[in-house]
Structure 1
Amino acid sequence: MKKIIFFTFLIGLFAGCSHSKPPDFQGRIIDIKESRVLVVSNVSIKELETRTQTQLLNDKAPNAVWINVSSINKYKVGQLLEVWYQGGVDTSYPAQAGAKKVEIIEEPRRLL
């Protein structure tokens, strides 16, 4: 009987954990075009203010993704995002992907 209760507990524990999948990508928005945001990982606000987009893309390769988003109005250059992909990722550079979920985890501390 104890084994049945223990295994039931383990199954419930694993089932509950499966809903909290970590993000597929985390990075800062460096550009916004049409219905996409260009997100690059490991970019500071200072780098964003002092470097060109080309310099950032060259320095941070291959860590850049154009993310297709449904509502472009809530996004600003400098925001730090966590992104969960929807479907596959086009492996061009920068890569391209759809977003199942996007969370803004930090607003820029300075205006660009």
Structure 2
Amino acid sequence: MKMRWMLGMFMVFSLSLSACGLSETEEVDQNEVEAEASDPDMSGFVMDQDDDRILVVTPMDDGSGDEGRAMWVSGAPEGLWVGKQVEVWVDGDIAESYPEQATAEKVQELEMSEVQGADLKASEALSTALSETEPEQTDVLIVSLLSFDEESDQWTVKLDRRGTDQGEWKTTVKDEK
């Protein structure tokens, strides 16, 4: 009996030691993990671009009367951003003006699903429409409608203006690359 008890204890001890094995771990930057796990500070459409600065504007919220949030974000990665839908993580404080101003820690493009029957992506249609507008320097354009009509093979883009020239601007974009 004493032998069985000692054998049982030996097995428990052996199993305990084997469970305490060592494994290699990779060093991880804690700030990087927190940035990936945190929600973005803002998401919306890029309505204007000036070098590494992009103007991100939230779309109109139907029925709420909300004007939409707008933010000039500096430090955006190189590339053409106008028309794309993005998420922005801010590095530091946000200046509370209209539009707000901040420096980007990270800017990530959101993949917009392709529209059945359309040659253009929604971001391309919006970018084309924005290239046709001539807003005043103080105007902020907010997307209130972005839709594709397969029958007429064209996109309808409706923008609301905020700033000195308040009002609505609507255009159609032919669905061709």
Question: TM-score, length-normalised on structure 1?
Answer: 0.61
Structure 2: tracts of 5 or more residues without a match: 1-29, 113-122, 129-177
Describe the shift of the 1:62–1:93 C-alpha distance in structure 2 as closer, same or farther (beyond 3 A).
farther
Spell out the pairing of 1:81-100 with structure 2 (5 A cutoff). Answer: 81-100=86-105
Structure 1 vs Structure 2 CA RMSD: 2.5
Of structures 1 and 2, the larger Rg is shown by: 2
Q: Does the CA contact (< 8 Å) of 2:47 and 2:83 recur in 1?
A: yes
Higher relative contact order (CA 8 A, sep 6+): 1
Q: Does the CA contact (< 8 Å) of 2:54 and 2:76 recur in 1?
A: no
Describe the shift of the 1:23–1:70 C-alpha distance in structure 2 as closer, same or farther (beyond 3 A).
closer
Q: Cα deviations across residues 34-81 of structure 1 (Å, max 9, x unaligned)?
A: 3200000016xxxxxxxxxxxxxxx86350000002433x23211000
**Secondary structure in 1 matching 2:59:** coil
Question: TM-score, length-normalised on structure 2?
Answer: 0.40
Greater helix share, 1 or 2? Answer: 1
Q: Does the CA contact (< 8 Å) of 2:48 and 2:82 recur in 1?
A: yes
Structure 1: tracts of 5 or more residues without a match: 1-14, 44-58
Q: How many residues align structurally?
A: 81
